[in-house]
Structure 1
């Protein structure tokens, strides 16, 4: 029984362990290393789609990390490196796309939806207040009918 328990525990913990290779790059200086890591964190993996280059284990992310490393070491600016990847993979590769005419909907869309929703909510609440604020007038016939119903309920 003890042996079975050990076997089950090993199987459970073995599934939780994932050995992944770690990329190690020798940058010329600390500033280049920081730039490379920052750029890899700002660029999205085209295959994973929800991970940046720094966190992704896909082969294309590894190739892109190597390309970032090489471009940083060549002395290219951050804008040049980002432009290279956006030209090659499209704006999708950036977590924070540039604010230009092609991405206005992306940047301004949420604000527009929020404004439209706020205006719709304001109009709805205002209409509800106007409908409920008016005094309800009850005719004499309705009062008599109501009194009859109440008396009928007391007799039963």
Structure 2
């Protein structure tokens, strides 16, 4: 009962002061960038979609980094250095992320090989005679 009462106090983060953009271009770049970054707390939500307090803080930090003159790659690298590759929805193709990028294709290819082998084996297997000479009991 005590543990369940804590959830009553949990509330989504409210942004006390909405972000103010200096231009429409800045706003468009900001929204494109935060939609490519993952909330480190919510895991399957982008920074743009998340209401977690850390997402609110990270959105403010992204805007601040933009205003410092950093490009999108530098901002993403800053967040990767801090939180790891997980923060990116599209991690970079590197030797340590090959399994992430090419693993699904390998699993699909392996499944195709298994299915093809099973079909080939089934075609090559001799079929038993189906004559009814009175000794076999027919199942219905």
Scaled by the length of structure 2, what TM-score is found? 0.79
SS of residue in 1 equivalent to 2:133: helix
- Superposition pairs for residues 10-25 of structure 1, below 5 Å? 21=14, 24-25=18-19
Higher helix content, 1 or 2: 1
* Superposition RMSD in Å: 2.5
Counterpart contact for 1:44–1:52, Cα < 8 Å: yes
Scaled by the length of structure 1, what TM-score is found? 0.72
Gaps of 5+ in 2: 1-10
Measure how far apart 1:37 and its partner are. Answer: 0.9
Query: Which of the two has higher C-alpha Rg?
Result: 1
CA distance in 2 between partners of 1:135 and 1:102 (Å): 49
- Superposition pairs for residues 122-133 of structure 1, below 5 Å? 122-131=116-125
Structure 1 residue 78 and structure 2 residue 72: aligned?
Answer: yes
CA distance in 2 between partners of 1:69 and 1:35 (Å): 10
Map of 1:14 onto structure 2 = none
Question: Residues 90 and 76 of structure 1: is their aligned pair in 2 closer, same or farther, counting only changes over 3 Å?
Answer: same
CA distance in 1 between partners of 2:55 and 2:48 (Å): 8
Write out per-residue CA displacement over residues 20-74 of structure 1, whole angstroms, 9 at most, x where no aligned residue. 7456322222111111111111111111111111111111111100001111122
Counterpart contact for 1:48–1:56, Cα < 8 Å: yes
